[in-house]
Amino acid sequence: MIISVSGVSRNYGDVEAVRDVSFTANRGELVAVRGRSGAGKTTLLNMVGGLDRPTSGQIVIDGHDVTAASERELLDLRRTTIGFVFQSFGLIPILSAAENVSVPLRLNKQPAAVREERISLLLELVGLGGHANQRPYELSGGQQQRVAVARALANDPPLLIADEPTGQLDSETGRSIMDLLRALVASRGMCVLVATHDPTLIDLADRVLTLRDGRLAEAPVPAL
């Protein structure tokens, strides 16, 4: 089990953003988190990714209790075990696609030869083999998000967390990003946890978690 969330709540002052949420997820699963704006999706994903801490409850990621972890341990976990993809891509504008992908490899002190090989493999994987030297502004939104996915996979994490990864893309491009995430689950046995309120993308998920006002109501698997 890669994600175990038990009785997790997160309050911001009087606002109960996430209330008593429990779920588990395994490698080889694409789990979608849906819900209206303000339902608590980002808050939940940030806690699972160790970017924020619950007010109460426990989260265990790949055997590590992130609720009890020190900042240092969380940093290590985010570098080795969890990849992140955000709605706004978050690429560094002055760096090429290849250089953006190299950032987490440098942080993990990978030697140059390993970095080079890994970068070309990852850019091929996301369908950007011929775009290594282009900067973000020279790429389409869908291509930028593919670079962000390649960067998130740089250190081969077993868990990918994606917060509305298609939110800034047209529906066809968004679909191709979701297809890419789906393929990663199949080919690499990753777990992908993705927040979206786009109903057309939800049918690609193995499982759908629905948040309403911070509470979870597990929806049935959609018919294919």
| Contact residues for ligand ATP, defined by CB under 6 A | 12, 15, 17, 35, 37-43, 197
**Complex with ligand ATP: residue 12 or 140, whichever CB lies closer:** 12
Q: Sheet holding 30-34: strands in order across?
A: 82-86, 159-163, 191-195, 30-34, 207-212, 215-219
**Complex with ligand ATP: residue 43 or 143, whichever CB lies closer:** 43
**Complex with ligand ATP: residue 21 or 97, whichever CB lies closer:** 21
Q: Closest approach of Cβ 175 to ligand ATP, in Å?
A: 19
**Complex with ligand ATP: residue 120 or 210, whichever CB lies closer:** 210
Q: Closest approach of Cβ 48 to ligand ATP, in Å?
A: 12
35, 166, 190, 201 from 144: Cα distances, Å: 26, 11, 21, 19
Closest C-alpha among 213, 157, 161 to residue 192:
161
CB atoms within 10 A of CB 59: 23
Q: Closest approach of Cβ 10 to ligand ATP, in Å?
A: 8
How far is CA 57 from its chain centroid? 22
Phi, psi of 203, deg, nearest 5: -70, -10
Q: Closest approach of Cβ 173 to ligand ATP, in Å?
A: 19
**Complex with ligand ATP: residue 141 or 167, whichever CB lies closer:** 167
**Complex with ligand ATP: residue 41 or 118, whichever CB lies closer:** 41
Query: Which regions of the chain does DSSP assign to beta strands (E)?
Result: 3-12, 15-25, 30-34, 56-61, 64-65, 82-86, 159-163, 191-195, 207-212, 215-219
Which residues, 6+ apart, have CB-to-CB distance to 150 below 8 Å? 97, 101, 119, 122, 123, 125, 126, 128
Residue 8 contacts residue 47 (beta carbons within 8 Å): yes
Q: Closest approach of Cβ 176 to ligand ATP, in Å?
A: 22
Q: Closest approach of Cβ 198 to ligand ATP, in Å?
A: 11
